[in-house]
């Protein structure tokens, strides 16, 4: 008697059904993953602005420049004094670009901004804070104003 060797295998239809199911699951999951990444970047941006706020206070009160003037520093100066980490001090961290400047008209003011490196991809919100410590955000565009009047420009405090 001859024995026929038959191999058990998946048919082409079965494989195509499995691939279709995987594609449907991926189509549902990928947008959620992208949104989760954006929210993570935005949370990190808020944390970085809080770190800048604390660093500005330490910079001013400790006269970190050593020039006898109690003024605020730029982002580069804060990094040089190791008040913020080197990555944040470079101006780019976790999908956001940051800037911080000491007051140009007064020694008692400063402001900082965080904006997405690639709008609508790394984040949807633009952030701003100043010497008051309140962090504002908008989804319109980057802040171009400093100081008061941000709420009239469509910006709202974070958490509201």
Domain residue limits at 24: 12-157
Terminal Cα-to-Cα distance of the chain (whole angstroms): 82
Hey, what are 99's tokens?
């800037």
Asked whether residue 146 is assigned to any structural domain, the reply reads: yes
Kindly report, residue by residue over 110-132, the tens digit of the pLDDT. Answer: 999 999 999 999 999 999 999 89
Asked whether residue 6 is assigned to any structural domain, the reply reads: no
Across 21-34, average pLDDT: 93
Asked whether residue 5 is assigned to any structural domain, the reply reads: no
Across 34-55, average pLDDT: 96
CATH number at residue 21: 3.30.540
Q: Is the pLDDT of residue 12 over 50?
A: yes
Asked whether residue 2 is assigned to any structural domain, the reply reads: no
Asked whether residue 105 is assigned to any structural domain, the reply reads: yes
Q: Which residues contact 44 (CB under 8 A, 6 or more apart)?
A: 93, 94, 95, 96
Asked whether residue 1 is assigned to any structural domain, the reply reads: no
Share of the chain above pLDDT 70, in %: 86
The pLDDT score that the predictor gives to residue 149 is: 42
Across 88-105, average pLDDT: 89
Structurally, the chain folds into a number of domains equal to 1
């Amino acid at each position: 008697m001859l024995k026929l060797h038959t191999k058990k295998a998946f048919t082409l239809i079965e494989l195509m059904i499995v691939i279709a199911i995987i594609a449907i699951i991926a189509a549902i999951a990928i947008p959620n993953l992208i949104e989760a990444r954006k929210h993570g970047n935005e949370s990190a941006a808020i944390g970085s602005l809080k770190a800048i706020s604390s660093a500005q206070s330490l910079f001013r009160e400790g006269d970190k420049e050593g020039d006898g003037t109690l003024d605020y520093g730029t982002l580069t100066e804060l990094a040089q004094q190791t008040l913020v980490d080197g990555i944040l001090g470079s101006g780019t961290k976790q999908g956001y670009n940051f800037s911080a400047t000491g007051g140009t008209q007064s020694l008692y003011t400063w402001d900082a901004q965080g904006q997405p490196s690639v709008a609508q991809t790394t984040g949807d919100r633009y952030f701003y804070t100043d010497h008051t410590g309140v962090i504002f955000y908008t989804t319109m565009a980057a802040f171009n104003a400093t100081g008061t009047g941000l709420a009239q420009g469509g910006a709202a405090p974070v958490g509201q």
